[in-house]
Structure formats: structure tokens, C-alpha cells
Structure 1
Amino acid sequence: MKILRTRAASVSRQGLCTALLVASLTAAVGAAGPPHPTASSEDPAPGPGNPQSLPHGSPNLALPDLVPPPGTGKPGPGGPGSKEEVKGIPATALAAYKNAERYAKDRWPDCHVPWELIAAIGKVESEHGAMGGGLRPDGSTEKPIIGPRLTGEKFALVRDTDGGRWDGDTQYDHAVGPMQFIPSTWAAYSADGRNAGQNDPNNIFDAAAGTARYLCAGGLDLSKQADLEKAVLRYNASRDYLNSVVAWMRAYQNGEGGAIPDTSSPSSGSSPYPGTTPRPTRPVPTGPGTTSPSTPTPQRPSTPTKPKDPDKSRDRDRGRPGDKDKPTPKPTPSAPRAARLDRAGAGELTATAGGTFKPSPSVRAFTADGKAVPKGTRIRFEISGKTEAHFPDGTRTASVVTGQGGLATAKKISAGDKPGDFSIRASVEGLDLKPVYFDATVEAPHAAGFERVGADTMEVTAGKSAPRRAIAKASDAKGSPVAGVKVTITVKKDGHPVETGPYFKDDKGKPVRTATFTTGQDGLVFLEGLVAGDQADTFSLELTTEGEKPAAPFLFKVAVKAAEKADDKGRPTAPGKTDDKKTKPTPKPTR
């Protein structure tokens, strides 16, 4: 991302009009509706896999103290490229940042997000919108600011999550707008900073308010240094990025970010590169055979233009004959917008590890007059929490459109292999409406019983380790094998736990007589790591499971036989027998 510099200019009549329009827009935004609930009650903190924090572009990480001061041979105070000009904030952007601070203060008063922090992110991400050719007084940019394609090559891999709605790409995501939001992040934390009934990441008023919401999510208090750093690293998990943003924030808090006129539109003709210093012109050639700058260059005679037919012009302006008899076409009314999102179906979802949630979560969207929204309203479902659950494409976010009756049902959710609880958040894309949450649970696989595999008894010599072998198979009520079942094996004698006999080893190498194993894909329980001990006897291994409906205990026998004895030469002897050479005395020689 090139370092862009805004153009300093004296306040003209056009600049005054712009300032008045910004002021009126700011006043309208300040008259927003009633405060929302606190961030902690509605906006969970983004998860560890949040793509916003991954590399998604090339932010401008130049620090404010590297800006050349006046009087060092660089452009003077107030001139293009000067310290005042580079550190200044366009009037529209400054109004948006201050409005975002008020927006957050009304809704999340415990967050304490300063406008200078939002401005610092806007500076680093897009030079306050100058990357889009500058800002219009309504907060939009002259052209959309779209970051690089996130294909996983130079930057992070983020596959499309918005159907190309914001970035025009249906395969991969791009960061968008003056605050460079990833589309999935914008869907989760968007805001209507203008109180205009729409959430647009390309408008700096909406984008700055969305940034405040994103920084405050999870109940952070940005007056605390640790929370402030955590919030900034959500945008880009880079220490250099954090240092640059904090440095600009401090500079603005120290009064170094005064308002400057907005950059001009490309159509104004004042600069071919809005937001940057004009390109230098080529030097005028001098010397023999060249034309002096003061000498006018001969011009080619212009080709005479054909005079316009006044009758045809009149036809265009007033309509052709007979047009007065045709009715003026009425503008097509816009589709009703969603104003409320309700849960449809069960509130709590349960699935077994390795399985699929049935049914999938569903919601209904309604308009302000209580009618179902028409088909095509886009709903976003997002999985959050410490879970391996995911949608069919392996991601944790999915976008679907409403069908008949305003109903939207999420794509199938795979439970993953990790048991536990998590939540699913449903929201209307592009609108700041209250989301719907679903509680979901991934349960450990359940076995109805065990089947014996092979012989019911294993013989092991005292002091030796038992060989690894399958001793049982866990199955469900239909007799099908169940994988992933936690099975506890306990060493017992006559139905009671023992402190001697066969044992396992814990992670520190100490003997234990209870161990946990997990069944494989074929439901088999493999016995491994069992040491026979020194006591010759018959013991039992009891297999049990946990849960509301545990399988009936299963017993497997282990017969420990005595170790073989050895003679003085290390040769094994049968138990109870002795070496003849040791028991018989040596005969004395006869005379």
C-alpha cells in the first residue's frame, strides 16, 4: 500500500460547502436511535481463526515521528507533503471518527473507545479513504477500496463468504472499504453509522462505527492497555501493525491530527491522483532548436463541427411527438427490508462427535410490518467457540438466502471429533439487527454394549508386558461398531479393585490400575501397555463407559503365571525343580 498524502489547500467556497454538509450529516448521525445493549451481551469476541487478524493487505506502517519537520529542506509548513498535511485528517473522515466514538459511547459505555484509535486504524489501512480517490461529503469514496485477492499465496487464504457482494469476487474474499473489513467480519460486526437504514463498509461513517463495534466486542475496556492491544491485534495480528496504530493514536491525542479539506474528486481536474501530490511535469527543453516556453506553440486548425439540429435537440429535451400521450413509467419500488430476525425450530442442537447436526439451525426474517421478507434476503450463520464443528466447505461461516416465508436454514454442520459446547450466530447481512443465537452440543460417541473379540483369557508371565491385542468391540443398539468411545479399563480381583497385580503406567511412569482408551473406526478396544506384575494369579479387566446410558460392564481375564527360575548358568528350569549338581554331594575318591 503506497504512502498517500492528502492535498493541502486553502478553504474555498467549495470547501466551505463541504464542511457545512459534513456538519449537517454529523448532526443527523448524532440523532441516532436509542442505545443498544452492551457489547458483551450481544457481540462475542472474534474466534482465534478470525480472518480479519490474518494478513489481508499491505498497511502503511510508517510512524508519525518519521514525517519530515518543516525547515529541513522539505516542503514548508502547510505545503504538499508537509508534516501538517500528512498528519492531518480530511474533514469528512474526522467527522466519521468522532461520530463512531459517540456511537460506541451510547451503546457500549464501558468500552471507552477513543476516536483517535479509530482514526489511527483508518490512517494505517487506507490513508483515511484516500486509497479510494478521496472521500465525498456523504462518507463514500470516489471508487471502492478493495484489497488484494486472499488466495493464500502472498496473504491469507480466505475463500468467498459474501457471494461477491462487497468485493465482486465469488471465489475468494478481499478486504473492503476505508477500514478494510473482511466481508465475513463486516457481516458479524457491521454498523449503521449514518442512521440511514443500511450498513455499507464502503462508507466511512458506517465503517468507522463498525470498527468501534469490532474493537469493543467481547466486553473489552480500551482504557486498559492490555485490552487495547488485544483489540488492535484483532485487525492485524502483527506487532509492527500494533506499534504503528498506537503511535498514530498518540499523535492524534497530542493534537497532531487537525482537520484538513477533503481530497478532490477525480472529476474536478485539480489532480489526476487524488490524495497524492501531483506528478512532476517534464522539464522544458532548452538550447538551440528548441522553442522558448514563452513562445506559443503553433496549433493545428480544428476540424469544424457540424451544427446541431435544433429540432432534434428539442425532441430530446421535450420528448418526441406523441410522447405526451404515453404514461411516465413509475420507478420500481425497492424490496421490503428485514427489520426482525426470529428463531425457527429447536433452540438447542445436539450431535455425536463425528456426526452431523440434524436438523440445521433455521431463522425467519420479517419486515417492519410483521410480514415475511421476500426471497433473497441474505442470512449469515457463524460458528463460534472452542469446537471443531464446521460447514461442508470446512469453514465456520456460511451465507444463505431466505426462501418461502422468510425462512433461512443453515447448511449442514459437521460436529467434528471434539465433544463440547459452542454457539451458532445468525444475522442479516448488511443490517444492524439483533442476531439470533443457537446453543449447540457435541456429545461423545455412545456405545450400547461390548462384544468379545478372540479368547476370553490372556496368559502373561510375571514381570513381563502383555502383548497388544484387541479384546472387545464397542457397538450401538443395532450392533454397528462405534468409533471414538472412551473406555475405562480397571484391574480387579474377585470384583474388587486391587493394589497389586497387573498395572498400567501413567505419563510419569508410575504404576496405575485404571486407564482410559478410545475405540477406533472399527469400534475395537485394544489392550496395550499392561504389565503383568510379580504376583501369579488370575485377575479381571473391567471395561466401562460413561454418560447417561453407559454400556454394561465387560470383563476380560488375565492369568499371570509365575516366572521361570534359572540355574547358576542362566538356564531356565521348571518351577520346583533343582539342579542335580547342586543337590548331590561330590563322591570322595577311594583308596
Structure 2
Amino acid sequence: MKILRTRAASVSRQGLCTALLVASLTAAVGVSPPHNTADADDTAPGPDNPQGLPHGTPNLTLPDLKPRSPGGLPGKPGEGAGGTDSASGIPATALAAYQKAAQTTQAELPGCHIPWQLIAGIGKVESHHGTMEGRHLNADGLADQKILGPRLTGGEFAVIKDTDGGRWDDDTEYDRAVGPTQFIPSTWESFGADGNGDGIKDPNNIFDASLGTARYLCANNRDLNNPRDLDKAVLAYNPSRAYVNAVLAWMRTYQSGNVTELPDAPGGSGITPGGSAPGGTSPSPGRTPHTKPTPPAKTVPPAKPTPPSTSKPVPPAKPTPPAEPKPPHKPGGDEGSKPTPAPATRLERMGDRAIEAVTVDVFEKRASVRAWDSAGKHTAGTRVRFEIVGVEGTESHFIGRDKKPVVTTGKDGIATAPQLLAGTRAEQFVVRATIVGGTGEGASADFDATVKVGTVDKLVRVGSEKPLQTGAGTAFTDKVELKASGNGKSVSGTTVTATVTSPDGKTDVKAGPYFKGKDGKPVRTLDLGTTDKEGNVTLPTLYADEHTGGYALRIVTANGTTLLLQLNVTGPQPETTKPADKPTGTPAGVKPKSTPAT
């Protein structure tokens, strides 16, 4: 993802200041520093992830640690807050895009907890918020010139052959990173988003690119409140510790309030997407524009007067004979023209019919179909709708705004659905692809989707480790919350059962602590339901009958993972007895005087 050239001073400064920077910003905003992955290899993306391969040189300049100076920004004494080269300034359109993307993602994936400042950190390092090399943003989110990375032909970068037919990167032989957050076209195919609601997913548009970036960072069920997940997310964007340090440093700078909203196009108007303002544009100070300045025009001397003509008058032209009729149009169109493709009449599944995922995770395989016409040729430009059918109330959904996304086939006739996110419960349903419009409308192809519950390898009590104890005939007052996980991830949708047993957990008991059933009667084995999307389940109130002693609560998940909680029921408290009334008469210990005999 990386197109900006790393300046030698930036690299040197980054090497000297990283530790100081992270420590000082952490103290300023009260956020823990990122997890220092000495074992970065286990968090780096695999070889099949093109986004994580070398494809550019990001700008690793770190934020300035100097305090704000009067009337200016850090390290820029005297420069106004609206200065176009203010280090921590963000153009108004870019700022709106980052904030909108975070808001949308927080609604779609609330467990990710993505801050807009992280997306802004990526935008800063990748393209200076879309304003690198003298560019500036329009209010519609497009820069006045495309932002393209180097051709990925090898050498210091990865070798990635063309995957988009040059649609986004204007290159039909090799891929290039595209747009303000530098997406590889094949990655954009998976994570592309329509961030401004115009019906187009364009990586060159900062609204779309910001939302796509947010979804990429939140992939694999990451929680960015967790420092390790945050570290993994940024490493997946670029597997470089220097890159992670730079992005997180800018994120924390913005989180500290050290950010200024800048105008989008200083001193310019009438800028059209992909072009320049009339009369040229003024590049930002210290930056080199893409186009060379136009040299001043030479002065043209006035033309000499034309002498009167001495030629003979020209005779009138002969009438033009009528044109010969053109031969009839041949099928396929004239030479050099493109024939109109025949409409698609059927869809063919690409890959396996069956796709599956565990609860609250993305389906690894995506539904993909190819459109064919009646002559047996695949067709480009066919609109295909994808939807979930065959189940009611499912929480599974396509990632994005659309419940029934429509995708247009490419030049290879293939349309691929957006990524599918599994819900919190085990279920089966059908993903149906259907042709929209044309003579083939309604033709479809189905995929069988299965959501499975993940395997639980750990079941723990959340929070308190205080023993559970109460007196006979009373209720246990401690709230008991359990968490199920597998391979370090929360497991949603697993069923959990609790049974009161002997202290060793081996023998079910018929007396002692109990739950109340639906009818209010005591039960000592209870189905607790299924874990929520965070893998949690809470026990209902547990009561003690008149029996005292030690017991256990045996809690078992669907795949047999067991947790044993000890229970203790004490006897009733002895009542306080009043002291016995003293007998009247002689005080105790005093011998009565003898009465003389009469």
C-alpha cells in the first residue's frame, strides 16, 4: 500500500523518537501502548494476502512532540491553523470520511470498537489524507488526480499480475495500489464499500476507501480495544513495525485533540474529478505537483497583410455522384467497434456449492457465479443480486449496507458476493444469486450455507473468584457469569447445562441447592441456553434448601468442556438466648444464715 517516498530524515527521526513518542502520547491520553510483538511473524498476514505484501513506500514521518505555539500548530510557530501543510491538520472532506466510516462500522460491527482516528492514521501515512504531491480533495471525496502506487512487477515490491482489467489502476498488465488508503484491486474486491451512498464502490473516493479500510481492519472478528488485535490489524495492512509505530502515533495524536480541520482545496474552485482547476492549481508548500508548470507563451508578431490575389477564378465544382449503398451490417459490428453483448440467460456456480463458517465469523468462501448467454459465451455487465433465503430471523448478513447486494459481472462474466458474516447461532440457509433484468431475469444459482458452533476448549467464571456460599433456606446472592472460548476466540451459540452434584462433580444429588423451573418447582439440572456473541452466559438465581454441607455445580458445554464450581451451604444461625432470670432470695455463693432452733 505504499506510494509515498520515505524521506531519509523521516526514517532517522522515526528510529530515534519512536520510544519517546509512544511513551509521551500514552501518558497524554491514558491509552496503553501497542503490544510489542517481538513475535511479529505470527501476526503478519500470510502469503495469500496481497494487501500485506510490499507494494509501496509509506511516509513514516512521525508527529511533532512540540506543544502548540500561539496561533499555530506544533512545530510551526506563527503558521495559522488553516495552513495547508499543518502536520496534524486534516482536510474537511477527509475528516468527514473518517468519522462517517467509523460511525458506520461501529453500527455494523460494534464488537470491533474502531476509532476514526485509526482510519485517519492510515490515511495520513498512506497519502497525507489524499493530498500528497500537491493534490487536493473535492467535496465529493475524489482527489483532483488519481493516487496510484508503483507497478507491482517485482524487485523491492511484490509481483501481482492484473486482477481488475485496469478498471481502478489504469494498468491491464500489473496491479497497483489505488486511492487515498492504497488498496490493491483484488483486496478492494473483497472489502470495497460505498461510503457516500452514491451506488459506486470506488477506492479512489475517500469516503468509500475509508469505509473499506475500516472493514479490513475489523476483519477476523478483531476487537481494536484489545492492544494485540489493534497491532494485528495494522500489521495486516503493512507487516512493518515502523509502519505500525507511525500509524498508531498519528492515531494517538488525533485522539489527544491535536488536529485541525483544513480547507479541501486552498485557493481553488471548479476542480473536476481527475483533472485540474482552470488555469492550474497551486500546490501545497514544500510539495511537488504532478504536472510541470506551463512556460510563458511566446509573443506572436502580427501577421503581414495578404496581397490581393492574382489567380484565375476557380470554376464551379462538379456535382458529387451519389454514394454507393453500403453492404448490409455483418453480425459482430464494424471493424474496430465492440458488439453489444448478448443478454445472460443462466448462472453457473464458481467453486463448491457448500460454504460454511463458525458463529460470529466471516465465511471463508464467498458466493461467486458466472453469467452465460444462450450462445455459450460468458457475459460482462450482467447485474446479479445475492440474498439469504430459507431461514427467518437470521443474524447472518452480508458485510455492508445492503441486505440484498447487487453485483455487476466483470469482463470474465463473474460476479462475487460481498463477504458474509455468520450470526450467533447454528443454522443452515441458502445464498441465492439471481439475474436482475434482461431476458434472463430470474435465472438463479444456489449455495448451501452452514453456520456451526465453534469448539469450546476453555470455560471460565468471569470476574469474581469468590466461593459460592449461603445459609440453609436462602438464595445464593453472587451473580455468576461464564465465558466460553476456543483457540483464544469467544464461542457464540454453544449450549450450556448446569447440574448440582456432590463436591467431586461425579454424582448428581436429589437434595441441596437448586434452581427454580418454569413452574417454580426445584430443579437440579438446568439448560442455561446458548452463549451470546461475546461467548457469555449468566446463571439464574441458585437457592439452598434445608440441607447443609458441600456441593458442586457442574457446568458443561455442547462439546463436553466442563467447569466445576464449589457450593457451600451452612446451617441456620443460632438464635441469641436471653440470660436466665436470677432466683430471688439469697444471692448465689452466699451461705444463708442458720436460723437458731427454737
State TM-score, norm by structure 1: 0.43
State TM-score, norm by structure 2: 0.42
Q: Which has the higher helix share?
A: 1
